[in-house]
Structure 1
Amino acid sequence: KGQMDFTLSLPFSRSAIFHTKFFLGAGMIAGVHVVSYLIVYLLKLGLHPIETPEFNSRYFYALLSALMIYSLFFAAGTLTGSAISQAIVGFSTSILPFMLIGLPIIHLDFIIRTSGSWVDTSLNYLVSPISPITYITNDSFQQEYQHWFNGEAFIIPLVMMVIFYLVGLVSFVKHPIERNGRFFLFSKMDRPIQIMVIVFGVLGFGWVGFSYDSLLGYFVSMIIGGVVGALTSYFLI
């Protein structure tokens, strides 16, 4: 907090401070990947392995993924008032498509009692490509399911990186203070996010309730999830 207050008191614009910090971190990540690439490439030339499939593209994919995750947590830091809330928001955003799209799909499948194959296809074809967490877990959607378009594995993380960068830039320039202890620096975000946490608690615990294979267990689990979500959002936010 003290360091940020001091930095903001210097005769530099918020935009200049943001870009300096952002590109310094991004440059470090890129530099590490370049050094790693050169070392492995020299080993490859010296050892002559039998095969190195997609050597260049995999390194480029890893670099894009790392920069995208970095920009996500950087943006989370510009929206939140503490390091803990930054980590929570960053991780929650990385799995947000699974909670926002995946959980309703799973509940719908439970209610209409289908075979479940369309759920797997939907999660892998629709949800996984737009979930940041996918790009650091080597999700199987890249091998087992047809891509939306050529270059999907590279274009989607690149677009998400740009979006997170813009969110971080706008929020850092617009909010008047830094690290004030609040969960969100923009107080107007508190109530909508609190409602989302409660809804996700209801859907998440309802998912656990599927194991009882009864409507009673299903609804009891959702009620418990609502209570847990309400308490969690209250004490955190």
Structure 2
Amino acid sequence: MQKIAIITAGGSGSRMGSLIPKQFLLLNQKPLLWYTISAFLEAFQDISIILVLPQDYMTAGAELVNELQINDQTTLVVGGSTRYHSVQNGIQQIKNPSVVFVHDGVRCLVTPNLIKRCFEQTIEKGSAIPAVTCTDSVRILNNDSHKAINRDQVKIIQTPQTFLSAILIPAFNQPYQEFFTDEATVVESLGQAVHLIEGEYNNLKVTRPADLLLANAILEERNK
């Protein structure tokens, strides 16, 4: 079955406090996106990449694709006003039955092992949503009050959120709703169950300057 990675990199990176979108910030002389795409290529050489970018960074995306020498297997798509619309723009490029990975472009430390495990579970169960157990104390707010809950029952959701295209495409044909914060919520809204898979604590999402420092430290440790 065809493998397709929709890599969402359409954000502006406002929380990073940089004029450059965070997906193009450098980590050891390479843009974050370079590491993200490379992980998928290492997992599956025959994978197709749909790269969702801001309009103003389409040229930069094309240059990165050219550097990686994957022009023939990559499609560049302009992002939408929300994550949902960006993913929807990417999904519109899918023509054949596929296993579809939807991945945050700034989760640049994702490993080929996690990608392969997501693929294998999706073939078996129809979906694979990476998740790790929360390690912080957690409280739920209820108006002016709050209460602690068992953190062992709280999962932190990651990407690549992976689905059979037959499940994902119909979900993204419905109108947008504000609670669509990720692909799992979109699919669940149609009554379709989603299946978790063990994620990786180092599969962090680089959104703030401290995240970039941590990502650099992890990358240095991997390269030793």
* TM-score interval, normalised by the smaller of the two chains: under 0.3
Mark the structure with the bigger radius of gyration. 1
Q: Name the structure where strand makes up a greater proportion of residues.
A: 2
TM-score by length of 2: 0.25
